[in-house]
Amino acid sequence: MTSSPETVRAVVLNVEDAPVDPEAAEQLDRGQGKVAGLVGLAKLAWRITAFARRPFAAPFALAAPIVRGVVNTDSGPAVAVRHDGRMVSPREWAAAQRQTGTSPRVLVLVPPAGKDESVWVEGSQATGATYADRLADLLGWMPLHMHVTAGSTSVPAAVALSSRIQECVDALPGTPRIVLVGYAGGGLIARNALGVATSGTRPWTTYVSELIALGTTPYAVTSVPISGGVGKQIDEHLAGIAVVGADEAMLPPRPDVDYLLVTDNATSRPNRVGRLFGEMLWWRHKTPLRSRRVRDLFPTAERFTLSTAETPLSNHPAVHDALLRWLA
């Protein structure tokens, strides 16, 4: 697999040489994360409508399989495949990959809308590589970088993302294993893409083993917020609140996919400050005659928190360590 000169390559030769943070490794232990997630859900049970009480709702695209490759904006495709700093077709991407046997491993990286693969480079001076570079070098994962057009709304973006991934899977030989890694809003788009029906004999969603959401807002409300601009940012980043459509809120998790949610421990709910602050903010989403309803977008996820004071979750040493363990 070729790389541009600007690409930061991994400088390690084996897993033992990768960044190691014992304290962070303990924080990102899979079993511990599951317990933390259950405790967090219990604390929020009084305000979160459990998915288990509702029938399995058909997601926004399950009833009508999409037509591949037709989701576009005025300026181009809503979601594009990128490789070596440029937009490529799924077949070009597949041809550029370093083939490793008959069961390829595909790492789909989804940044926030309007961002490209450069998001994952931030902080690489400290870590020595991006997630994609290190996992490719050490474990043979094929990075599949996605670019979501700025301004794309979540549901159309999810449909377009599903279409692009399907095209890439169709261009690969063998049966792949797919892992989705979404950063911030990209985590929501990746989550929603898992609910999109695809046509063909090899639906890509059946090959997904994990969805790893980094810094993604975990809770959502379907009512339109009164606040906007800075107020909306406070809701989303400090109180952990996102505004989504009703179809997105009702989208159930896939039972065959492991969801892993890593958030900043300074903004993750529930915690005393975040819970109190969030409660005050929720009143801005409530009218006198309409009750509030907040939903957990990742009800089955294992949950972890890390400090991002020095490095972002898009390239964090502890996440490097965790990915090497989780995806080995």
Whether residue 62 is predicted with pLDDT greater than 80 in this model: the reply is no
Closest alpha carbon to 161 in 274, 242, 36, 77? 77
Structure tokens at 238: 């400090």
What pLDDT shows up at residue 152? 81
Q: Which of 61-65, 221-225, 241-245 has the lowest mean pLDDT?
A: 61-65
What pLDDT shows up at residue 266? 65
Q: Which of 7-11, 74-78, 95-99, 106-110 has the lowest mean pLDDT?
A: 7-11
199: left (phi > 0), else alpha (psi -120 to 50), else beta? beta
Cis peptide, bond prior to residue 77, ω within 30 of zero: no
Q: In which band, very low, low, confident or very high, does the pLDDT at 22 lie, cut at 50, 70 and 90?
A: low
Whether residue 71 is predicted with pLDDT greater than 80 in this model: the reply is no
User: What are the beta bridge partners of residue 304?
Assistant: 262
Whether residue 254 is predicted with pLDDT greater than 90 in this model: the reply is yes
Q: Which of 51-60, 74-83, 98-107, 145-154 has the lowest mean pLDDT?
A: 51-60
Q: In which band, very low, low, confident or very high, does the pLDDT at 242 lie, cut at 50, 70 and 90?
A: confident
Burial 30-52 (b: 16+ CB within 10 A, else e): eeebbebbeebbeebeeeeeebe
- Per-residue pLDDT reduced to its tens digit, 188-228: 999 999 999 877 788 999 999 999 999 998 888 776 655 55
Contacts of 269 (CB under 8 A, 6+ apart): 40, 44, 218, 219, 239, 240, 275, 278
Express as a percent the part of the chain with pLDDT over 70: 63
Q: Where are the alpha helices (DSSP H) in the chain?
A: 22-27, 30-43, 90-96, 124-127, 131-139, 154-170, 185-193, 230-233, 246-249, 272-282, 317-326
Structure tokens at 278: 């969030």
Average pLDDT, the chain: 75
What pLDDT shows up at residue 21? 54
Strands (E), 44-131: 72-73, 76-77, 79-83, 86-88, 105-110
By the 8 A CB rule, do 253 and 299 touch? yes
What secondary structure letter does DSSP report for 218? -
For the entire predicted model, the pTM comes to 0.77
Q: Which of 24-33, 152-161, 174-183, 292-301 has the lowest mean pLDDT?
A: 24-33
